[in-house]
Structure 1
Amino acid sequence: MAEGVVGLVVATLGAALATEAASFGWSLVAKEAAALRDVFGKIRRSKAELESMQAYLHEAELFKDTDMTTAVFVGEIRRLAFQMEDVADEFTYKLEDCKHGGFAGKTRKRLKHIKAWYRLAAKFQEIEAKLEDANRRKKYYTIRPSPAAKSTSQGKGLHFTRDEDLVGIEENKGKLVKWLTPGAGGDGDDLEQSSSKVTTVWGMPGVGKTTLAAHVYRTVKLDFDATAWVTVSESYCLEDLLKKIATAFDVEVDVANVEMRGLAESIHDHLQGKKYILVLDDVWTPLVWSEIRNVFPTSNCIGRFVITSRKYEVSRLATREHAIHLQPLKARNSWVLFCKGAFWNDVDQRCPPELQELASKFIAKCQGLPIAISCIGRLLSCKPQTPAEWENVYRGLDSQLAKDVMPDAHMILKVSLEDLPYDLKNCFLHCALSPEDYVLQRRKTMRQWIAAGFIRETDESKTLEEVAEGYLVELVNRSLLQVVERNYAGRLKWCRMHDVIRLLALNKAKEECFGKVYNGSGGTRAFSVEGARRISVLGGNIEQLSLSGTTQLRALHVFEKYINVDLLKPILTSSNLLSTLDLQGTRIKMLPDEVFDLFNLRYLGIRDTEIESLPEAVGRLQNLEVLDAFESKLMYLPNNVVKLRKLRYLYACPPSTSEAVNVGGVKVPNGMQHLTGLQALQFVDASLEFLREVGDLTELRTFGVCNVRSEHSADLSNAITRMSHLFHLEICAAAENEVLRLEGLHLPPTLSWLGLTGQLEKTTMPQLFSSWSHLDSLTRLYLAFSSIDEQTFSGLCVLRGLRFLALREAFGGRRLNFYAESFPKLTRLWIRGTPQLHQVVIEEGAMPNLVELSLRDCPKLKFLPNGMEHLAALDKLNLEDTLEELIQKLRQKRDSNECSKDVMKISHIRNVRVIRSQNGLLERIR
C-alpha cells in the first residue's frame, strides 16, 4: 500500500513541476530565479526517485508481513513521502500566492518568499538524504525472502472443506451438480456427442466460493474418468499452471523437463476420449482461460470446467447462463453456521438462552459472510461460555487487529488489495472511512476521489469523472463493494461496503497511515492521531480529537450531527494543508474563520447544514474544486466566489427545490463567466445578467436554473445552446402558470436527464417535442405543469431511448394513449396530478420493458389502464390517492365470482401497492 502514498506524491510533484514554465515567465530577480531553479531541480530529482521506487514497493507489499526489515523500510518511505507531499504543497501555494495582487504587491511577495524558496529546497535536500540513508540501510540489513516465504505471504494455501461450513448451499449445490454431471441437462452419456461446458462461481472475498465448489467437486468426481483441482495465483505463470494441471490430472510426463508445447500436447492426449472435470479456483483474470482453453480436447469427450473468482469479468466466461453469483448467507443459515462453530463440542450445537442476544450481535456484525461467521465462531468456542466473556470479545472486536480475530478473512482481503492498482487501493480505503452500513452515493464518492487526487486522466478520451466512475464499477466487479441500487438506466446509484470487509480495510488504512475513524468513546488515551492523514468522525464529542494534536491532516469527514464548532478550530489550525472538509448533515450554522485559511482545500462539503451565508473570505480558497452546499440554507453566494477559478462543481440550493414546485434557487454574483472549469452548477436563480454570462461555461455537464420567467427564455436558450457537453439539465419556472418559451432551445445530443417545471407554449409545443428527435442519449424526462394535451403527448414518442418518464400535473387531457411500439426502452412511468384523466390506453407492443407504473392523484380514473395485461415485464404497480371504487375492485380475489376485469389485468404483477398520502397508510394488495 505504500506505493499508493508514493503515487499521490508523484502526482503532487508533477503538478508542482508543471508550473515551472509559467514561473520563469515572470521577470525574476537573479536571486529569486536561482532559488526557484534550486527548488525545481530538487523536486525533479525527488519525483524521479519515487517513480523508480514504486515498482519495488508493489513487490515489497507481497512479503513485508514476513520480512521485518522490508516492513520497516516501507514504513520509512511512507513517512518521507508524506513529508515530500507537505513541502511540495507549501511550495505550490507560495508560488501561486505570488501571482495575485497588483505589480507592487506581487513584487513584495516574491522578494519575501526568496527565503522560503531556500528553506524548502533545503527541506527537499534533507528528505532526499534520509531517503538515500534508508535505502543504504535496507540493502545492508535485508534478508532476501525465499520463494516459499513469498508464496506464504500471498495467502495461497491448501483449501479444506469442513462439514460444519456447509450451510445454506443446497440450492446452488443442486444447480452445480446438474450442470456438471454428464447426462444431465440433455448432454447424454454417449462420448460421440462432444460436450464442453464452463461454469463460474463468483462473489465477494470470503463468501464461500471455494467451499461450495469443493463440496460439489467431491460429490461429482466419481462420475468422471479424470479429475483435477488447481488453485490459480493472481500472478500466475502459464508454464507453471500447465505443470500443476498435468500433475493434478496424473499425466504421465516429466513435468520438470518437458517444454511447454509438449506439456500441452500430453494433457490433450491424456484427456482424449474421457469424461473429465477441472476446477480452477480463485482465478483473477479471464486471460487465464483464453491461454489454456485450447489445451483441452473438445471432440469425442465430455469436459466440465468450474472457475471460482471474486471478479465479475471472470464470471462472464460461463457457458450461457451457467454462472452463480454467490451472496452472503441469510439470517437463519448464518445462525446455524455460527452455532456449529461456537458450540462444535456440544452434542446439539445449540446456543444457551443467556448467550442468544450476544450471539445475534456477533452474527449481525458478520452480515452473512461465512468466513467471518466461522472465524468468530471458532474464536468464541475457545472462550468460557459466559455473557461477561462474550461481551468482552464483542467490545474489542473492532479495536483488535482483524488479522488476530479473523486471520482467514484478513488473508483473503490482503490478496485482494495486492491485486489492486495503487490508485484503486486509495479509492477503496477511502470508502472504508464511512460509517458502518453507510450507503455511498456514486456522484459524491467520485467527487471526493477527484478532489483527493486519487483520480488521474488515463488518456485524452476520458474525463476525470469517467475514470472515477470506472473505478467505482471496478470495485463492485471485484466484489469489494456491494450494489445497493441501480438507477433507471442500470447505472450504479448507491453501493456499500460489507461490514467485515470494512473492518479489515480500516485496519489496513490504519496500518498504512491512510486514515482512522474516531467515535469519541473510550477515554482520553483511546485515540491516537499519530501518522493519520485522514480522520473520519463517526460520533461522540470531538474534544479528544481537538486536544489530540492533529497535524497535517489531508481530509476531515464529519458524520456526527451535533459538533462544537469551537472544537474544530484547533484541528483546522494545525492542519493547514487540509484538502477535504466534509461537514454534510451537521447542524452547524456558520463555518469557523479558520476554514478560509486552508489554501490547499479542494473539497468543501456543507450539504444539508444550517449554514445561511458564506463570507467573502471564501475567495481565498484558490484551490477549491468542489463547493457542495446542496439543501443547505444558503440563499446567495458571496461576490468573491467568482475568484475560485479551479471550481469544478458548485451545488447550492435550498431544500426541496429539485423535482418540486420551484421555491427559488441561490442568487449568484456577476462574473460567473470566469468559472470556465465548472462541470456542475445547481440551482441558480435566473436573472438577465446571469443568463448572459452562463453561456461562457461551455464545460458544464450539469446545469439547474430556477425562477425562470418568460422574458428570460431567449437568453436562456442561447446560453444552453452553447453547452455542447450538457448531460443533466433542469429548468424551473418562477411560478406554475409561468410560460417557458423554449422554441429557440437547441439541446445537445449528449443530454441524458431533462427536467422542465413550468407551462410550455401550446402553439409551439409540437415543434419543441419534434426538435428532440436527435436526443438518442436522453434516458430521463421530468415534466411538471406543462399543459400537455392528448394531441401533443404523442410527440414525446420521438424519445425512443427514454427509460424514465415522469408527468407531474403535466397532462390536462381526458385520455392518455400509448401507441404500439412507443417508448420501447421505458422502465419507469410516473403519472401524477391529472384531474381530468378518465382513461389510459396501452396498445400491444407499447412499453415492452416497463417495470414500474405509478399512478397518483388521478381522481377520475375508475379503471386501470386498458391493455395493462400486455405489459409482461411490469413488476410494480403503485396507486396513490386513487378512487376508492377502483381499490375495492382490486381487493377482490382472482378466483372469486365477482372478480373484475381490473383484477385480471394485474394478475401477472408481483407487487401492487395502495398508498394514502394524507394519513400515511400503505396497503400491499399482492
Structure 2
Amino acid sequence: MGGSGKTTLVNSIYEDERIKNQFDCHIWITVSQKFHASDIMRKMVVERKHFRKVKEFQMHDIMRELAISISEKETFCMTHSKSQHGEPEYRCRRLSIHEHNEMIKSISDPSRLRSFYHFDVTCSSFPSVGTPRSARYLNVLELQDVPITVVPEELSGLFNLRYLGFRRTKIKQLPQSVDKLFNLQTLDIYLTNVDKLPTGITKLKRLRHLLAGKLSAPLYCGIVGKSRGVEAPKVVWESIELQTLKGVLANMDLVEHLGNMTQLRTLEIEDVREDHYPKLFASISKMRFLRTLNVLSAEGNQGISFEALNFPPKNLRKLKVNGRLHQSVMASPFFQTVGAKLEKLYLTGSKMNIDPLISISCLSNLKVLQIGDTYGGERIVFQSGWFPKLHTLIMCNLSHINSMIMEQQTMKNLQWLALVNFPELKEVPHGIELLLSLQNLMLVNMHDEFMERIQGEDKVRVQHISTVRFLDRSRGMEKRLFQDS
C-alpha cells in the first residue's frame, strides 16, 4: 500500500501538541518493510561524545527497563541495588552491582559468573565473588572508582581473568603473584596509587593492554591533566603481544626490550633521558602498527631530536611530545613521513624561540591541536588557510603572548577552543568573530582586563559562540559567562 499517505497521516498525529503533551518522551523512527529490531532500538539510544569520540550512551527509562528485563530473562546480565527487597538469587553470567549491601554476599552459583562489575563508590572493602575455586571461570572484574586500598593475594587464583580494572581506586600495589593470571589481556591501574609494577607483570605473555599512571596535577575542567608514570621492572618483558603500554617510566632495559613489542598500537613513556633516545627510537622503528606515541622527556633534558628515528611508524595518528624540541624538528624526516597523516598533536614544554604554528601549519590533516609552554614570543597569528580540519584547539601557559590574531578562512571547522593561563593577553583575539563554526570557548586564569572586555565591549564578537565558560583557579571561581538555552 505504498504511496497511500499512511506516513503523512501518522506524522500529523505524532506532531500534534495535544498528543505530545500526554507523554514524557516521543521518538520518530522510520521503519522499512524489511527491518531488524536491534536497528530500531539502536536509533532510540542517544550517543554522548567527547571530542567526537563516543564515551557513553544515554537511553530513556523505558528503554533501560526493557534492556534490563530482557537481560535478566535471558540470564545475560543482572543488576543489584539496595532498593531490591528480599534476598536475590543470582544465576546470571554477568552481574552489575550499583549499590552494595549485605544480601549481595550470597551469589547462588559463582561458577556461572563470567563478568562482575562493581559501581558502588561507598564500598571500601574488596567485593566477594566466591572462592577462587568457585569463581574460577570469571573473565571480567571491573572495580573502577571503588575506594579499595588492598588487592588480596587470593586474586591470583582467578586464572581465567581476561580483564582486570582498578582505575581510580586507592590501591597502592599489586600482589607479586599477579604472574599467575596468565590469561590476563587487559590491566587498568590508571589513576591509582600504584607507583611500581611488580616483576610478575613482565611474565604475562598474553597481556595486550597495560594502562598505568598516577594523577599528579588537577584537571582544568577536564581540559589539561598531568599524570606521573610508574616504575617499570628492569627485566626482559615476555609480553610481546602488548598493543597498549601507557604510563611507564623509562629505563635502559625497557627502551631496549620495547623493540620486541612489535604489535604495539599505543606507547606512552615518561622520564626519557637523552641517553635513552637512540635505543628508544630504534625500538619504535620496529613498531609498524603504532598509531599513538607519547614521549615525555626527563627534567633538564637537553632536547628531543627525531633525527635518530630513521624509520618512523607510517600509521602514526596521534603524537604527544613533552620536552624541549630542536628548532629544526619539523623539518626532520620523521615529520616529513608522518606529518601528513597526523590527526592529533600535543606539544608541551618545547620552549621554541620561533612561532611553532608556522612550522606545523603544513599539517593539514590535524583535527586536535594542543600547545603549552612552547613559545616565548609576544604575538601569535593564525594565517588564512591554516588547519582546515581542526575542530579542537587548546593553548596553555603561553605567558608572554599579548596579541592573538585569527585571519579570515583560518581554522574554518574549529568547534572547541580553550585558552589556559595567558597572564599578558588583555584583548579578545582579533578575528575570533570569523570563526563561525566555534561552539565552545573555555577560558582559564585569564587577565582581569581580558575578562572585562569579553563581558563588555567585545561581547558582541563572541555572541555567535554557543557556550563561553571561565575558570579562575586562584580564586576558586567557575562561571558560565553566557550560554544558548
TM range (shorter): 0.7 to 0.9
Is 1:504 the equivalent of 2:75? no
Q: 1:522 to 1:715 in 2, by over 3 A?
A: same
Is 1:337 the equivalent of 2:22? yes
Q: In the alignment, what sits opposite 1:268?
A: none
Q: In the alignment, what sits opposite 2:161?
A: 601
Q: Which amino acid aligns with 1:758?
A: G
Q: In the alignment, what sits opposite 1:757?
A: 322
Aligned pair partner of 1:527 in 81, 84, 88 = 88
Q: 1:910 to 1:600 in 2, by over 3 A?
A: closer
More strand by share: 2
Q: 1:555 to 1:798 in 2, by over 3 A?
A: same
Aligned pair partner of 1:688 in 216, 237, 252 = 252
Is 1:550 the equivalent of 2:105? no
Is 1:589 the equivalent of 2:149? yes
Is 1:515 the equivalent of 2:77? yes
CA contact (8 A) 2:129 2:135 kept: no
Q: How many Å apart are 1:747 and its aligned residue?
A: 3.6
CA distances 1:170-226 after superposition (whole Å, capped 9, x unpaired): xxxxxxxxxxxxxxxxxxxxxxxxxxxxxxxxxxxxxxxxxxxxxxxxxxxxxxxxx
Q: How many Å apart are 1:817 and its aligned residue?
A: 1.9
SS of the counterpart of 1:822? coil
Q: In the alignment, what sits opposite 2:481?
A: 924
Q: Which amino acid aligns with 1:597?
A: G
Q: In the alignment, what sits opposite 1:663?
A: 228
Q: Which amino acid aligns with 1:555?
A: S
Is 1:742 the equivalent of 2:299? no
Work out the CA distance in 2 between the residues paired with 1:818 and 1:736.
31
Q: 1:921 to 1:661 in 2, by over 3 A?
A: closer
Aligned pair partner of 1:913 in 449, 466, 469 = 469
Q: 1:910 to 1:759 in 2, by over 3 A?
A: same
Q: How many Å apart are 1:789 and its aligned residue?
A: 3.3
Work out the CA distance in 1 between the residues paired with 2:353 and 2:139.
52
Q: Which amino acid aligns with 2:161?
A: L
SS of the counterpart of 1:881? strand
Cα RMSD (Å): 3.2
Q: 1:770 to 1:649 in 2, by over 3 A?
A: closer
Q: How many Å apart are 1:594 and its aligned residue?
A: 2.7
Q: How many Å apart are 1:517 and its aligned residue?
A: 0.9
Give the ranges of 4+ consecutive aligned residues of structure 1 lying more than 6 Å apart after TM superposition. Answer: 305-308
CA distances 1:446-489 after superposition (whole Å, capped 9, x unpaired): xxxxxxxxxxxxxxxxxxxxxxxxxxxx798x3253211142xx
Is 1:559 the equivalent of 2:123? no
CA distances 1:256-301 after superposition (whole Å, capped 9, x unpaired): xxxxxxxxxxxxxxxxxxxx55446xxxxxxxxxxxxxxxxxxxxx
Q: Which amino acid aligns with 1:507?
A: S
Q: 1:889 to 1:370 in 2, by over 3 A?
A: closer
Q: Which amino acid aligns with 1:641?
A: I
Q: In the alignment, what sits opposite 1:568?
A: 128
Q: Which amino acid aligns with 1:867?
A: G
Q: 1:559 to 1:910 in 2, by over 3 A?
A: closer
Q: In the alignment, what sits opposite 1:730?
A: 294
CA contact (8 A) 1:605 1:628 kept: yes
Work out the CA distance in 2 between the residues paired with 1:337 and 1:571.
52
Work out the CA distance in 2 between the residues paired with 1:761 and 1:475.
54
Work out the CA distance in 1 between the residues paired with 2:87 and 2:250.
52
Work out the CA distance in 2 between the residues paired with 1:910 and 1:505.
35
Q: How many Å apart are 1:889 and its aligned residue?
A: 2.3
Work out the CA distance in 1 between the residues paired with 2:227 and 2:432.
34
Q: In the alignment, what sits opposite 2:418?
A: 854
Q: In the alignment, what sits opposite 1:845?
A: 409
Q: In the alignment, what sits opposite 2:210?
A: 650
Q: How many Å apart are 1:826 and its aligned residue?
A: 0.8
Q: How many Å apart are 1:656 and its aligned residue?
A: 4.4
Q: Which amino acid aligns with 2:464?
A: H
SS of the counterpart of 1:912? strand
Q: How many Å apart are 1:788 and its aligned residue?
A: 2.7
Q: In the alignment, what sits opposite 1:675?
A: 239
Q: 1:851 to 1:904 in 2, by over 3 A?
A: same
Unaligned runs of 5+ in 1: 1-227, 229-244, 246-275, 281-304, 309-325, 339-362, 372-411, 421-473, 893-898
Q: 1:564 to 1:587 in 2, by over 3 A?
A: closer
CA contact (8 A) 1:809 1:832 kept: yes
CA contact (8 A) 1:728 1:754 kept: yes
Q: In the alignment, what sits opposite 1:886?
A: 450
Work out the CA distance in 1 between the residues paired with 2:340 and 2:202.
35
Unaligned runs of 5+ in 2: none
Work out the CA distance in 2 between the residues paired with 1:554 and 1:832.
45
Aligned pair partner of 1:610 in 170, 177, 184 = 170
Q: In the alignment, what sits opposite 1:234?
A: none
Higher Rg: 1
Work out the CA distance in 2 between the residues paired with 1:903 and 1:545.
56
SS of the counterpart of 1:630? coil
Q: How many Å apart are 1:754 and its aligned residue?
A: 1.3
Work out the CA distance in 1 between the residues paired with 2:126 and 2:410.
60
CA distances 1:365-408 after superposition (whole Å, capped 9, x unpaired): xxx3579xxxxxxxxxxxxxxxxxxxxxxxxxxxxxxxxxxxxx
TM-score by length of structure 1 reads 0.47
CA contact (8 A) 1:784 1:810 kept: yes
CA distances 1:681-733 after superposition (whole Å, capped 9, x unpaired): 11111011100001211111111101111221222222222211112221112
Q: How many Å apart are 1:838 and its aligned residue?
A: 1.8
TM-score by length of structure 2 reads 0.87
5 Å-filtered alignment, 1:12-411, equals 228=1, 245=2, 277-279=4-6, 336-337=21-22, 368=25
SS of the counterpart of 2:306? coil
CA contact (8 A) 1:648 1:679 kept: yes
Q: 1:716 to 1:548 in 2, by over 3 A?
A: closer
CA contact (8 A) 2:414 2:437 kept: yes
Percent identity, please: 26
Is 1:702 the equivalent of 2:259? no
